[in-house]
Amino acid sequence: MSTAEQTLTPTTSPGAGLKIRNLTVTYQTDRGRFAALKDVSLDIRPRAITGFIGESGSGKTTLAMAAMNAIRAPGLITAGRIESEGVGDILKLKGENLRRIHGQHFGFVFQASSNSLNPLKRIGAQLLDLARSHGAKNPTALLHEAKQLAERMGMDGDRVLTSYQHELSGGMRQRVGIIFALLLRAKIVILDEPTTALDMLSQQAVLEIIRDIHKERGLTTIIITHDMGVVAEMADRVVVLYAGRVVEEGATADVLQRPMHPYTRGLIHAIPRITGDLSDAQPLAGSPPDLATIPEKGCVFRERCPVRMSICDTAEPQYQTAHQDGLVACHGVNAND
């Protein structure tokens, strides 16, 4: 059992959470096979909103796709297990059993929702296809529910269902993506950058919809984002990823008010403030590594770290219990101070 597994707080609440243990995902490139996620152990708590945050390439979307056993070539899940209530080890599911949980247990809203819609079919026809493909007993009733959801989201339900995707705005397509994820009553909903490319009013409307439906249906919700403001507003817990590692995790208020990992502090300090001197926002030095340049040993953040020590070059930091019920992995941190 790894150190991370020993220190993780067990999930005891009712509902469909995720228990991820020792998960490694690799990708084959023209320069060899490299790890996009390495030995990730994490509990996604049921009925909570969890935010995955980090720069592009940190492994946020890869972790979410792996949680659904949806990694595609050239990616490969090479180690680990992922368990969820009523499903068992998701990584052992194949074929029809795996397809069934994609929609009935998991709902996924893609970052660019228009890319997941068929441009040759009206939205209503696509929703009917989704219902039938998952064996829905009453597709017409699901279509009626989709119309109601669209109207709750501030749209004309009839217009949405009879439209092609190009006839809808970006904000409307994003909301349609949420409808697709919710229609089959998924227990775990994953939203990949749900507010990207939306104007401020549409962003706020989408976040309010997510929050309301999460609460009403008792969902387990994962929000993938690079926006710390979205995490602060929405998430109960936050998972900070860097170069395919979880470097800090805990209750959102604890992590934002007392960030322990230097990467988390850097993300927070880089946020521009509405008031005060704009120069107070300090961007992180350097750039995140790509798959081929992630160090094979030592701390993956050391090249950009302001508290780098000699041990960081040779030993990968182990998880320590942080805050009240979270984790941090850093040689330069004493989580008990």
Per-residue pLDDT tens for 41-70? 999 999 999 999 999 999 999 999 999 999
Count the helices and strands in the chain (H runs, E runs): 11, 12
pLDDT at 241: 97
pLDDT in tens, 14-28: 468 999 999 999 999
Cα 331 to Cα 122, 264, 316, 318: the distances in Å are 54, 14, 8, 8
Q: Exposed/middle/buried for 301, CB within 10 Å: 0-12, 13-18, 19+?
A: buried
More confident residue, 336 or 208: 208
Contact 22, 41 (CB under 8 A): yes
16 neighbors 85 (Cβ within 8 angstroms): yes
Q: Residue 32: which H helix or E strand, with range?
A: strand 32-44
Which of the residue ranges 7-16, 168-177, 284-293, 298-307 would you say has the lowest mean pLDDT? 7-16
What does the pLDDT read at residue 281?
A: 61
Is 3-105+186-271+280-328 a domain of CATH 3.40.50.300? yes
Q: Using DSSP bridges, classify how beta strands 188-192 and 106-109 pair: parallel, antiparallel or unpaired.
A: parallel
Per-residue confidence band for 110, with pLDDT thresholds at 50, 70 and 90: confident
pLDDT band at 5 (very low <50, low <70, confident <90, very high): very low
pLDDT averaged over every residue in the chain: 87
Name the residue with higher pLDDT: 2 or 231. 231
In terms of DSSP bridges, do strands 220-225 and 188-192 run parallel, antiparallel, or are they unpaired?
A: parallel
CB atoms within 10 A of CB 250: 24
pLDDT band at 12 (very low <50, low <70, confident <90, very high): very low
**Which secondary-structure segment (H or E) carries 80?**
strand 75-84
pLDDT value of residue 10:
34
Query: Between 130 and 58, where is the model more confident?
Result: 58
Residue 131's pLDDT is what?
Answer: 84
pTM for this predicted structure: 0.88
pLDDT above 90 as % of the chain: 59
* Helix (H), strand (E), coil (C) string for 208-249: HHHHHHHHHHCCEEEEEECCHHHHHHHCCEEEEEECCEEEEE
